[in-house]
Amino acid sequence: MSCHALKVNDLSVWFETDSGRRQVVDHISFSINAGESTGLVGESGCGKTMTALAILGLLPTSGVGVSAASIEINGKDISSLNAAQRRAVLGRDIAMIFQQPGTALDPVFTIGHQISAVYRRHFGGSKKHLWQIMLDSLEAVGFSRAEKIASAYPHQLSGGMRQLAMIAMATVCNPVVIIADESTTALDNSTKSLILKQLERLQLQHKTAILLISHDLAMVRQSCRNVLVMYCGRLLERTDCQSLYSHAQHPYSAGLLSCIPQVSANRPPRISAIPGQVPSATDLPSGCHFAPRCIRVKPQCQQSVPHFDSEDDRAVACFRPLS
Amino acid sequence: MSVPYITSRLLYGIPLMLGVTFISFLLMVHFGPDKTYELIGKNPTEEQINEVRQSLGYDQPFLLRYGNYVKELLTLDLGLSDSSGEPVSSILIKTLPISLALVLPGFVLGNLLGMALGLLAAWYRGKWLDKLVMSASVVGMSVSFLVIIISLQILLCTPYGLNLFPVRGWQVHGLGSYFYYVTVPTLALVLVTLGYNTRFYRAIMADEIERDHIRTLRAYGAGPAELLFKHVLKNSLIPVLTRIMFSVPFVVVSGSLLLESYFGIPGIGLVTFNAITSGDQPILKAVVGLTGVLFVLALTINDMLYSVVDPRVSKS
């Protein structure tokens, strides 16, 4: 594979605070092929959303630092673009679906207006043409009465419908990459699977690469081929979903998996938790960030950072991986 | 906006107007000055006092007097001024247009400039431009309006300064003379209100810029012009409209009072000011009552405008 749909190379994000730098994303690299889904999992506050916002260049400019060797979409580096060039890429080549469908759409414009505005921004076209494109995208996500949805305001739709409309907005320009940041977290289970199904269908149709950010491992298992495990701003493990679930190599990944409640007929559900808490970004432990909570910790873990091979298909950042 | 919605809003306005006029009647007329002893000579007899009270209508029951007051306001038949003997309604008709012509340019400019500066400061939030605009507006708020008016008069209207405009008066015959008399009061009004306006609009716009849907727009490649002038402005219309509509009655009466007394302009503010100092009750009754009615009217129109700018209001 010569050219990845999305290739992030050495991305770092930090906050400048009075007490010094707070590293929230620490030199991470990964890539996604066209037509594939990759899950990015980890506990709340581990830097998943920051990664997404940094890829799109949406972080505020004051108080936040971002550095990246490169962020490539279909081989084209977008990390060094100026503001105007970047705007031409956003929404057209890479689109994001946000967590809160309730607030992510503008309440005083109709759904149709907001979707067609995205297409108009990048490709222009007559009003009639824009309207048709917009209706097509709404129909593509499964709305049977697209006209009605198009003339509705966000508050007139349910959460799931809004998120579907958001997907229509993300796919209207047929982007190379879609980043879905906790896009189904706020929705009930049946709506959740409907949304994932529509996303998958559109992905098959257009060979879109999807970065699915979630803390829901079960969902990632359902819909992703590969998975990245993130902890305190670093990637700890990359592998395909099946291997992760059958034998996770990093103790943290194994810990996360054991947190999924198992329901079975024979025994009561057993839930375990990873001991300890996520350390705050102001005083991260030296060495492996997970060492203080790790049951397999050894002295080396607290002194040096285990290497993470970003080129390999299966990688783990651990001195004592489970095997 | 549907017809039933408009009528229901108007119907809601009726009890409000009754309440407002009732309170102003209670304060201004029932507990207000008693003119009996001004009108009669020394050592009056009981009958003389009763006669005067009767002619003033003081002997009528409270509710009947209130009813008459409401009737006066409704028919705009407001009686004669105590000091000049002129009908109050014709005084108002003469002075109100002057006040409006005097205050309107400054009011509009002050709000537009405040909005522009607020938008600029909100966009560059935390940067030096924001800090500059915000500190300037604090200075503007802190300087007394007296200082602003008097220094503008010295700078622009006297031989000590540029001597371009008149210090006092209002002899408007056409557009040229209108600008001649209105320029300095307008500058004064803009300078007095700009600090407050800028801070108010910045707070609203800064909130709007932080909203999730603005981040969505950025993520889909919208430029600053589209963000600010389409989405931020339209979303902030509700608080902006509310402020503007609510300040209309104050601007018409009290805002012009300030300017008119310093620039010697015969508008409604000056008339009110003189009526207060001379105890001219028919004029006061009319001004207070009509201000209240104007306020309720502004509120009602405001409610109706909500449903135009925000699709979430209305239809219910």
CATH number of the domain residue B137 falls in: 1.10.3720.10
How many Cβ atoms from other residues are within 10 Å of residue A275's Cβ? 10
Q: Is A66 helix (H, G, I), strand (E, B) or coil?
A: strand
How many Cβ atoms from other residues are within 10 Å of residue A230's Cβ? 24
Q: Which of A103, A109, A121 sits opposite B211 (nearest CB)?
A: A103
Compute φ and ψ for A143, nearest 5 degrees.
Answer: -80, 125
Decide if A10 is inside a domain: no
**Confidence band (pLDDT; 50, 70, 90) for A185?**
confident
Helix ranges, A17-65 (H): 48-56
B9 or A178, which is more confident: A178
pLDDT value of residue A186:
76
Chosen from A53, A61, A87 to mutate, greatest number of chain B CBs within 10 A: A87
Query: Is residue B185 domain-shared with residue B244, that is, in the same domain?
Result: yes
Residue A212 pairs in a beta bridge with A39, A180
**Confidence band (pLDDT; 50, 70, 90) for B238?**
confident
Range of the domain at A305: 249-323
A202 Cβ contact partners less than 8 Å away, ≥ 6 residues apart: A140, A141, A167, A171, A208
Helix ranges, B26-87 (H): 36-39, 46-56, 62-75
Mean pLDDT of A243-271: 76
Q: Number of folded domains in chain B?
A: 2
Decide if B54 is inside a domain: yes
**Tens digit of each residue's pLDDT (9 = 90 or more) over B73-93:** 888 888 888 888 889 999 989
Decide if A53 is inside a domain: no
Mean pLDDT of A20-38: 89
Return the percentage of chain A with pLDDT > 70, whole number.
Answer: 96
CB contacts of B221 in chain A (<8 Å) are 87-92, 118, 121-122
**Tens digit of each residue's pLDDT (9 = 90 or more) over B119-130:** 999 999 888 999
Which residue in this structure is represented by tokens 């004669």? Answer: B80
Decide if A311 is inside a domain: yes
Residues of A with CB under 8 A from a CB of B: 56, 58, 62, 84, 87-92, 95-96, 98, 100, 103-109, 117-118, 121-122, 153, 155, 169
**Would you call B221 and A121 a contact, using CB atoms and an 8 Å cutoff?**
yes
**Would you call B213 and A105 a contact, using CB atoms and an 8 Å cutoff?**
yes
Q: Is residue B195 a contact partner of residue B141, using CB atoms and an 8 Å limit?
A: yes
Structure tokens at B93: 């008709």
ipTM score of complex: 0.88
Query: Is residue B121 domain-shared with residue B25, that is, in the same domain?
Result: no
Query: Is residue B127 domain-shared with residue B259, that is, in the same domain?
Result: yes
Query: Is residue B154 domain-shared with residue B35, that is, in the same domain?
Result: no
**Confidence band (pLDDT; 50, 70, 90) for A262?**
low
Query: Is residue B19 domain-shared with residue B65, that is, in the same domain?
Result: yes
Alpha carbons A222 and B201: distance in angstroms, whole number: 48
CA atoms B76, B77, B80, B86: torsion sign: positive
Q: What is the mean pLDDT of chain B?
A: 87
Decide if A223 is inside a domain: no
**Tens digit of each residue's pLDDT (9 = 90 or more) over B40-64:** 777 888 888 888 888 777 888 888 8
CB contacts of B207 in chain A (<8 Å) are none
**Confidence band (pLDDT; 50, 70, 90) for A271?**
low
Q: Residue A155 gets which letter from DSSP? A: G
CA atoms B303, B307, B311, B312: torsion sign: positive
Q: Evaluate if residue B189 carries a pLDDT over 50.
A: yes
Distance from CA of A173 to the nearest CA of B (A): 10
Decide if A82 is inside a domain: no
Structure tokens at A84: 């105007």
Q: Is A69 helix (H, G, I), strand (E, B) or coil?
A: coil
**Would you call B216 and A117 a contact, using CB atoms and an 8 Å cutoff?**
no
Query: Is residue B117 domain-shared with residue B231, that is, in the same domain?
Result: yes
pLDDT value of residue B316:
46
**Confidence band (pLDDT; 50, 70, 90) for B315?**
low
**Would you call A109 and B234 a contact, using CB atoms and an 8 Å cutoff?**
yes
Decide if B83 is inside a domain: no
Decide if A262 is inside a domain: yes
Q: Which of B216, B234, B311 sits opposite A98 (nearest CB)?
A: B216
Decide if B198 is inside a domain: yes
| The model's pTM | 0.82
Decide if A66 is inside a domain: no
Decide if A281 is inside a domain: yes
**Tens digit of each residue's pLDDT (9 = 90 or more) over A201-256:** 889 888 999 999 988 888 888 888 899 999 998 999 998 888 888 888 888 888 88
Shortest CA distance to A174 belongs to which of A39, A5, A9, A2?
A5
Range of the domain at B159: 91-271
pLDDT value of residue A2:
53
Give A212-248 as a DSSP string: EEES-HHHHHHH-SEEEEEETTEEEEEEEHHHHHH--
Q: Is residue A229 a contact partner of residue A41, using CB atoms and an 8 Å limit?
A: yes
**Would you call A103 and B235 a contact, using CB atoms and an 8 Å cutoff?**
no
Compute φ and ψ for A284, nearest 5 degrees.
Answer: -80, 140
Alpha carbons B121 and A41: distance in angstroms, whole number: 38
Q: Which of B126, B127, B215 sits opposite A58 (nearest CB)?
A: B215
Query: Is residue B116 domain-shared with residue B246, that is, in the same domain?
Result: yes
Mean pLDDT of B246-258: 78
Q: Which of B212, B221, B312 sits opposite A155 (nearest CB)?
A: B312
Query: Is residue B42 domain-shared with residue B169, that is, in the same domain?
Result: no
Q: Which of B211, B218, B311 sits opposite A58 (nearest CB)?
A: B218
Query: Is residue B102 domain-shared with residue B157, that is, in the same domain?
Result: yes
| Number of alpha carbons in the 13 Å side-chain half-sphere of residue B63 | 0
Helix ranges, B210-280 (H): 212-219, 224-225, 233-235, 237-250, 256-263, 268-278
Alpha carbons B283 and B275: distance in angstroms, whole number: 6
Q: Is residue A58 a contact partner of residue A30, using CB atoms and an 8 Å limit?
A: no
Q: Evaluate if residue A281 carries a pLDDT over 80.
A: no
Q: Which of B218, B231, B309 sits opposite A106 (nearest CB)?
A: B231
Decide if B84 is inside a domain: no
Distance from CA of B223 to the nearest CA of A (A): 7
Q: Is residue B266 a contact partner of residue B95, using CB atoms and an 8 Å limit?
A: yes
Kindly identify which residue of chain A lies nearest to residue B208, measuring between CA atoms: A106
Instruction: Report angle CA B286, B291, B296 to the nearest 5 degrees.
Output: 130
Q: Evaluate if residue B160 carries a pLDDT over 60.
A: yes
**Tens digit of each residue's pLDDT (9 = 90 or more) over A42-96:** 888 888 999 999 999 998 877 888 999 999 999 899 988 898 999 999 999 999 9
Q: Which of B254, B271, B288 represents a domain boundary (last residue)?
A: B271
Query: Is residue B70 domain-shared with residue B97, that is, in the same domain?
Result: no
| Number of alpha carbons in the 13 Å side-chain half-sphere of residue A5 | 22
Query: Is residue B114 domain-shared with residue B257, that is, in the same domain?
Result: yes
Compute φ and ψ for A63, nearest 5 degrees.
Answer: 85, -5
Q: Number of folded domains in chain A?
A: 1
